Structure 1
Amino acid sequence: MSKPDRSQYRPCVGTMMINGQGEAFVGKRIDNKEGDWWQMPQGGVDDGEDLREAMLRELGEETGVEPRHLEVVHQMDDELYYDLPPELHGKLWGGKYVGQRQAWFLVRFTGDDSDIDLEAHKHPEFCEWKWVDPDLLPELIVPFKRDVYEAVVADFKPHID
């Protein structure tokens, strides 16, 4: 099987942020009115931006967590790709991309729950958040991202204490 054309996929970072009990952070997107879907923080990479810097920026924007409360544990070796479902084609990212290619990081959250602030950024992405068992993550995400979440959980599982 050939690799997808990278230029057709939006560069993105994703983060599994785990607490001291090995539970993963998930947020409920403000803009998803279609169901009870939860996701891990993720977001676009700016031109020329280092992946680790992009991950810390996106995580800060979406959760309010400061880098001093984070320890990077692991980064996946390969990017993961997903395609948008047909009903979203042309509606996101100015119609420039057919999906996203994601670099995934596992980070340990060393702060307190009070250090999480969904409204730290002027455009919040999540309206609620919770800690969940990482094995439940594929069940919580929108179906078109499920394969990505299964791969992330499988790769990160040996690194979660």
Structure 2
Amino acid sequence: MSERDLSQYRPNVGVVLFHPDGRVWLGRRVGAPEPWIWQFPQGGVDPGEDLEAAARRELYEETGVVSIAPLGRTNEPIVYDFPPEVLAADAARGRAGWRGQRQTWFAFRFTGEEAEIDLEAHGEVEFDAWRWASLDEALAGVVPFKRAAYAEVIAAFRHLAG
């Protein structure tokens, strides 16, 4: 397999938020078609932004959560390609240019109260519902084109779910 040109992949961070009992936070994507509607918080990295700062920002923007303790991060980027329908939709919205995403993933332990979770914290709502689930449920519920990336994330953080 040839090396990917990572400059063609959008810099991105993802967050696996662990409940103290080992379950993980999943959000239901607004407008996503069933059955693959659940995912972890994730988002773009601003130019010059520190990766952990980006992860904390995205977590807050998408969930309202700020009460966290760091547990770990992936060492190498996890990369996935967008499928043709995503590329076409991005082109139609004038957002073409990325072949996919290169993600650095962070694991945090949730240390707050569930009342802190506010899906409208940022105004631009990404999720319309949330739940705590097992890591394996995360893999089953994510859109297929992200499944291999999620398998890598789950393998990297499985030891934290115990």
Q: TM-score, normalised by structure 1?
A: 0.94
Task: Identify the residue that residue 34 of structure 2 maps to in structure 1.
Answer: 35
How far apart, CA to CA, are the structure 2 residues paired with 1:3 and 1:48? 25
1:14-29 matched pairs, under 5 angstroms? 14-29=14-29
1:1-161 matched pairs, under 5 angstroms? 1-32=1-32, 34-36=33-35, 37-66=37-66, 69-92=67-90, 94-161=95-162
Q: 1:76 to 1:103 in 2, by over 3 A?
A: same
Conservation of the 8 A alpha-carbon contact between 1:90 and 1:96? no
Structure 1 counterpart of 2:34, which letter? G
How far apart, CA to CA, are the structure 1 residues paired with 2:99 and 2:25? 27
Unaligned runs of 5+ in 2: none
Conservation of the 8 A alpha-carbon contact between 1:30 and 1:125? yes
Runs of 4+ in 1 over 4 A off after TM superposition: none
Unaligned runs of 5+ in 1: none
**Residue 94 of structure 1 aligns to a residue in which SS?**
coil
> What is the Cα-based RMSD across aligned positions, in Å?
1.2
Percent of pairs identical after alignment?
44
Residues paired across the two proteins, number: 158
Conservation of the 8 A alpha-carbon contact between 1:104 and 1:152? yes
**CA positional deviation for 1:48:** 0.4
How far apart, CA to CA, are the structure 1 residues paired with 2:126 and 2:73? 23
**Residue 77 of structure 1 aligns to a residue in which SS?**
coil
